[in-house]
Amino acid sequence: QKEVEQNSGPLSVPEGAIASLNCTYSDRGSQSFFWYRQYSGKSPELIMSIYSNGDKEDGRFTAQLNKASQYVSLLIRDSQPSDSATYLCAGRRNNDMRFGAGTRLTVKP
């Protein structure tokens, strides 16, 4: 079992819809979680981080964390074609960051 698991997708949503990306983790000692966006051939770009149970909003993005269920999600509201990318979930314990394999999102105009 991988420490951080994501549905590889692809996930396809129409422009303007809400995209929901999910991630589960196995290490209960994980202290914080991160969502990165990665365009093809480029390096990961940090979207947001979350440390506490509940929701954290930043613009069109909302991260959700449920430590009891070991579940992290990212919602993208009003999805745009420019949001088409691979989204990486990562969990951190101390200085050890573990990444999922990513979910590929396609936003269709």
Partner 1 sequence: DTGVSQNPRHKITKRGQNVTFRCDPISEHNRLYWYRQTLGQGPEFLTYFQNEAQLEKSRLLSDRFSAERPKGSFSTLEIQRTEQGDSAMYLCASSSMSSGSYEQYFGPGTRLTVT
Where does this chain bind partner 1 (CB under 8 A)? 4, 8, 31-32, 34, 36, 42-46, 49, 88, 90, 92, 95-102
3-class secondary structure, 81: helix
Structure tokens at 25: 């983790």
Nearer to partner 1, 75 or 101 (CB): 101
Nearer to partner 1, 19 or 102 (CB): 102
In the complex, minimum distance from the CB of residue 29 to partner 1, in angstroms, rounded to a whole number:
14
Task: Please list the helix, strand and coil fractions of the chain in percent, rounded to the nearest 5, in that order.
Answer: 5, 60, 40
3-class secondary structure, 83: helix
Nearer to partner 1, 64 or 87 (CB): 87
3-class secondary structure, 89: strand
Nearer to partner 1, 4 or 65 (CB): 4
In the complex, minimum distance from the CB of residue 95 to partner 1, in angstroms, rounded to a whole number:
5
